[in-house]
Amino acid sequence: MRVIFGVLSLLIAVAVIGVLAKKQLAAVATPVAVPGAVAPAAPGATPRQQSEQMQQQVRQTVEGLMQQARPMPDDK
């Protein structure tokens, strides 16, 4: 009897973990639009082309941010 309850509780625990993992993976799989984020690469591009495109986009974003003036504190 104790073995049956042990196996049953183990199956329930595995089911709960499976449901939580499925919810977590579903939340990760949905893309979220973030301002200033790198755009996805072209769907027909090779991995090398996608990598180069992403590197170029990151480089452009960083250069654009570096050109912005830094806010100076008010001296009072």
Higher pLDDT, 37 or 22: 22
Phi, psi of 68 (to 5 degrees): -75, 145
pTM of this prediction exceeds 0.75: no
| Mean pLDDT across 18-40 | 72
> How far from 14 is each of 6, 20, 24, 54, 58, CA to CA, in Å?
12, 10, 15, 39, 41
| Mean pLDDT across 30-54 | 71
